[in-house]
Amino acid sequence: MEFKDMQPATLAAQAGGAIDMQSGGVVPSIQPSTTFARDRDYDPLNAANTYARDHNDVVRQAESVLAQLEGGSEALLFPSGMAAVAALFRTVPNGGRVVVQSGIYWGTTKWIREFCERREVEMCEVDASDAEALAGACAEGAAHLVWIESPSNPWLKTVDIARAAEAAHGAGALLVVDGTAATPVLSKPLEHGADMVMHSATKAINGHSDVLGGVLVTRDGHAVWDEIRNDRASAGAVMGPFEAWLLLRGMRTLPLRVERMCQNAMQVAEFLADHPQVEDVLYPGLKSHAGHELAKVQMQGGFGFLMSFLVKGGREEALKVAGRLNLFHRATSLGGVESLVEHRHTIEPHTGIPENLLRISVGIEDAGDLIADLGQALGQ
């Protein structure tokens, strides 16, 4: 039985079969060398390695596991999620056109807007959770890329990936999905028609808040993919061996961590939804969520670890709740084993985010302890 035919938990735990054959170690090895020797006839001692910028054994091992987890043909690692986003959008020619979901991770929106302005690329922003609105934006003219995020951060909106793919392909565009908040364990956009998937591997894929990384996974090889691969090697947007090794180590527990995080998040969401000091809870696992039925189709094994909730009383009350939390660390990011809370309006006040919104990333702690912490912070 080949690893590609195995379930995600087995594939991840076995690191895709990446045993160190030289030593016999069951843990993949790290080769930190930046250059690789040739023999007296000037042939490489290892035909796969000449220079570390684009030849790195542990990076290739991690990429192989990620491609298999996503059901893709190939993956490319980058030193951050934003480096992966930039590598993709640099394939759009001057004067091109892209369709981008609104209300997504602000760092992505900001970079794409600035890129499009520099390159005179037409950027159409649309609420992609409205399938008809997305189809209309795509129908307005030919495009190069359609970018969506599902579930979205911090609004937790669910996008119909299959319909988005149909709309994108009708405009001659590639559909690329940011699946960071779902991970390859919960959702596989390539199976729903997406052409590529991006993850900030910094988040749940690594899961330990100690590695920056990004990844692109493609369903099939194509000219745009070849351009991205060549640009990465030439421009040097590569991940180092130590970071790749830590990422691979983190991935070995990815399915287990995500399972626990989803279980915790569901209990937390139900508690918050029933709390008198909470105005609303944005989490696709709740039946009251607008994207719940679609999420049930597109997400298997849980609805993720990320959610937002609105505190009654406005900005000051939300900040007080965040300040009273003891187990939820007040810090940016998401997807780690530790639970985090963030007052998004403090981070991005210019985006229209509600001043009473708190975003939480639920970790692997005991759910009862997390709920008790939220309860005392909100006021029982």
Say which amino acid occupies 128: A
Asked if 203 is an active-site residue, the reply is yes
Reading across the β-sheet that carries 196-200, which strands appear in turn?
74-78, 214-218, 196-200, 174-178, 145-149, 97-101, 122-126
Active-site residue among 57, 178, 195, 373?
Answer: 178
Tell me what pLDDT residue 2 has.
Answer: 59
Rounded to whole angstroms, what are the CA distances from 278 to 217, 275, 307, 319, 377? Answer: 38, 6, 13, 13, 12
First to last CA, the chain: 53
Contact 156, 307 (CB under 8 A): yes
Q: What is 56-92 written as a DSSP string?
A: -HHHHHHHHHHHHHHT-SEEEEESSHHHHHHHHHTTS
Architecture of domain 255-378: Alpha-Beta Complex (3.90)
Q: How is the chain split into domains, by residue range?
A: 3-251, 255-378
CA distances to 31, 34, 58, 292 from 44, rounded to whole Å, are 16, 14, 19, 54
296 is catalytic: no
pLDDT tens, position by position, for the chain (380 residues)? 556 678 999 999 988 776 777 788 888 888 898 898 999 999 999 888 888 888 889 999 999 999 999 999 999 999 999 999 999 999 999 999 999 999 999 999 999 999 999 999 999 999 999 999 999 999 999 999 999 999 999 999 999 999 999 999 999 999 999 999 999 999 999 999 999 999 999 999 999 999 999 999 999 999 999 999 999 999 999 999 999 999 999 999 999 999 999 999 999 999 999 999 999 999 999 999 999 999 999 999 999 999 999 999 999 999 999 999 999 999 999 999 999 999 999 999 999 999 999 999 999 999 999 999 999 999 97
Known active-site residue 4: no
Question: Which string of DSSP letters, residue by residue, matches 221-286?
Answer: --HHHHHHHHHHHHHT----HHHHHHHHHHHTTHHHHHHHHHHHHHHHHHHHHT-TTEEEEE-TTS
Are the beta carbons of 57 and 189 closer than 8 angstroms?
no
Strands 122-126 and 97-101: parallel
Report the pLDDT value the prediction gives residue 26, as an integer from 0 to 100: 84
- 287 an active-site residue? no
Compute how many other C-beta atoms are within 10 angstroms of the C-beta atom of residue 316: 11
Note the helical H segments in 129-218.
131-139, 161-170, 183-186
Catalytic residue (choose from 57, 97, 105, 283): 105
Given 3.40.50.150, 1.10.510.10, 3.40.640.10, 1.20.120.850, which CATH number is that of 3-251? 3.40.640.10
State the catalytic residue, choosing from 203, 219, 232, 344: 203
